[in-house]
Amino acid sequence: MGHKHDHGAEKMGDGKLITAVGVNMLLTVAQVIGGIFSGSLSLIADALHNLSDAASLGIALFARKIGRKPADEHKTFGYKRAEIIAALINLTTLVIVGLYLIYEALWRFTKPEEIEGWTVVIVAGIALAVDIITAILTYTMSKNSMNIKAAFLHNVSDALASVGVIIAGTCILVYRWYWTDTLLTLLIAGYVLWQGFTMLPKTIHILMEGTPEHLSIQEVITAMEAIDGVKNVHHVHIWQLDEQHNALEAHVVPSDNNPIKNEKLKTFLKTMLSEEFDVGHSTLEFEFNNNYCDQ
């Protein structure tokens, strides 16, 4: 029964992602048309950001489907890392978009153009509504997925950017401050780059099989050696298989050569690693005094 529930939840999540992709694509088209018609660079900047959101949601959806494939002889740990690779693609694209927006904004400073304020305000208002809807669709899914969390944060930033664009359009209508449009473009670009450079190191850390940020190898060793029957622990490696699953391998020197006791000790160590350090996959090689590997 639990399997059916999970499968249904995944299908529901996929449906939300498909809806979010479709809505953002329609919004992107509307913003580009509105930006060209009004001459607003910040509106086109927001459209590019929305396009990157739609693309990231699409890639995340594709990666989720791949990630559900069971482990096989070619991918013995399964395919869950497809979502991490998707996150790397999405974040790299986000950084490129941010740099392009800065280039366009600086170019606009040299060649300012007249902007139709009402078009900017109306289209940005529609964008704000769509961003809020998309954020609601992805919020519950963002808690356990780096991909979806990135998409959710992007939509929140989109909503803030839309608010900014509305403010810029209002300033153009009331005060004829056309420079506010270029300033907002730079602010949107800066926020996009900040997001990208904040999440990229975490994504690369997982792909480089780095130690989970919340774990200390020395603390794990200390906890293992504190267990009665463990003489020494060394050659320890801890890494993340994906966002939710951690793995460990280690050499353990027991104080007793009794096979039955050591089998129970190994089971106890694996349980402790799972419960205290959230290490679900552990490989422990027991060594004895006559074959204790040199450190």
CA–CA distance from 230 to each of 54, 220, 258, 263, 279 (Å)?
52, 13, 13, 12, 19
Residues 174-221: pLDDT tens digits?
777 767 777 877 887 888 788 788 888 988 999 998 999 889 999 999
Domain boundary residue among 180, 207, 234? 207
Domains contained in the chain, number: 2
Query: What's the mean per-residue pLDDT of the chain?
Result: 79
Q: How confident is the model at residue 5 (pLDDT cuts 50, 70, 90)?
A: very low
Q: What is the domain range of residue 223? A: 217-291
The reply to whether the predicted model has a pTM over 0.75 is: no
- Let me know whether 183 and 108 are in one domain: yes
Answer whether residue 12 shows pLDDT above 60: no
CATH of the domain at 281: 3.30.70.1350
- Let me know whether 51 and 166 are in one domain: yes
Domain boundary residue among 168, 183, 207? 207
Residues 69-85: pLDDT tens digits?
888 888 888 888 888 88
- Let me know whether 177 and 255 are in one domain: no
Percent of the chain with pLDDT over 90: 22
Identify the pLDDT of residue 112.
55
CA–CA distance from 249 to each of 88, 225, 273, 289 (Å)?
26, 15, 11, 20
CATH of the domain at 93: 1.20.1510.10
- Let me know whether 76 and 143 are in one domain: yes
